[in-house]
Structure 1
């Protein structure tokens, strides 16, 4: 049984990982600049653009998952481990969809258009509403914090499988490996 993901699935996985971390860092980088400053606006422009890229990659990743499925899990994994892995992946996917959707809604409810690196712009289809924007911002931030926690647990589990269980769970997603 093939336990490895395709090279495209692996590439998207790692690019999504880098984007999630990078987007989180950009939120703190924006705080270096005063409100309404060009520097802060520039950082948020990057945040929105990379957030849209994240959303596109997540859509591609979900499409690949639905088309190609997932490799089987090692037989040594207990039913509880399999169940926890499925729930964790479902939660990661839900957050990876929710965070950019909330970010898009936040941008629009702030009264701003979405710009993807200046290549195209999508005007806000809703009127600016600061109360709604505040609520969405809180949900967006909560989900961003949750994904970092869950991704950390996900990484810890992969490392545990690799170094303690000594199985091929981590190798399934490493570039240049084929699992068993």
Structure 2
């Protein structure tokens, strides 16, 4: 594995536009998927509305796979180019390790969710229908055990994702405005007219 680049003393104070788009776009999509899945699973009886919410959950989940894979790649590249992202807000120590762990955990759990969701359909030999636009056929044979375990993994992942999101928000609140400014982007410069 290549050595990590040393952190530049002139590290940026805000995240770049690609990182901000990936963060906020991913956050909105993740929250929407969690809300759709939890409402359909926990709150609604069988019926047309539940079926429609599941269709949106599944379709958006499939559409989110490519941006999520790109986000994972971008995060890996950012680790190698350490001077290209803002320095951590927390001092070195256990709290910083926890913050890094929560960020890594969020990404890993989102990837697990993105793959276990379609696997639940494919392990029944069913295609995944994406919002009526197209279908992704099953690349595997029906497998009852795989269906069971992918469903359990997806369910566990949703609960873990909620916990990690709560920790992430708590960490952002702990850092206050400085945390939000880093992910909001540079401030507009005042007009000199």
Return the TM-score normalized by structure 2: 0.77
Q: Which stretch shifts more, 22-31 or 72-81?
A: 72-81
Q: Whole-Å Cα distance in 2 between the matches of residues 78 and 105 of structure 1?
A: 40
Task: Choose from 47, 56, 73 the match for 2:57.
Answer: 47
Q: Secondary structure at the match of 1:173?
A: helix
Distance 1:176 1:52, change over 3 A: farther
Question: Offset at 1:156?
Answer: 0.6
For structure 2, the 5+ residue unaligned runs are 1-10, 189-193
1:80-91 superposed matches below 5 A: 80-91=94-105
Number of residue pairs aligned between Structure 1 and Structure 2: 172
Q: Whole-Å Cα distance in 2 between the matches of residues 29 and 96 of structure 1?
A: 19
Q: Which stretch shifts more, 4-13 or 79-88?
A: 79-88
Runs of 4+ with >3 A deviation = 37-41, 66-70, 175-178
Q: Whole-Å Cα distance in 1 between the matches of residues 136 and 168 of structure 2?
A: 34
Please say if residues 99 and 171 of structure 2, whose CA atoms lie closer than 8 Å, have aligned partners that are also in contact: no
Residue aligning to 1:114: 128
Return the TM-score normalized by structure 1: 0.81
Question: Offset at 1:23?
Answer: 1.3
Q: Secondary structure at the match of 1:73?
A: coil
Please say if residues 3 and 74 of structure 1, whose CA atoms lie closer than 8 Å, have aligned partners that are also in contact: no
Question: Offset at 1:150?
Answer: 0.6
Matched, 1:129 2:143: yes
Residue aligning to 1:24: 34
Q: Whole-Å Cα distance in 1 between the matches of residues 95 and 110 of structure 2?
A: 22
Please say if residues 15 and 86 of structure 2, whose CA atoms lie closer than 8 Å, have aligned partners that are also in contact: no
Distance 1:138 1:48, change over 3 A: same
Please say if residues 73 and 82 of structure 1, whose CA atoms lie closer than 8 Å, have aligned partners that are also in contact: no
Residue aligning to 1:170: 180
Please say if residues 11 and 175 of structure 1, whose CA atoms lie closer than 8 Å, have aligned partners that are also in contact: no
Please say if residues 112 and 157 of structure 2, whose CA atoms lie closer than 8 Å, have aligned partners that are also in contact: yes
Q: Whole-Å Cα distance in 1 between the matches of residues 145 and 39 of structure 2?
A: 25
For structure 1, the 5+ residue unaligned runs are none
Q: Whole-Å Cα distance in 2 between the matches of residues 75 and 130 of structure 1?
A: 47
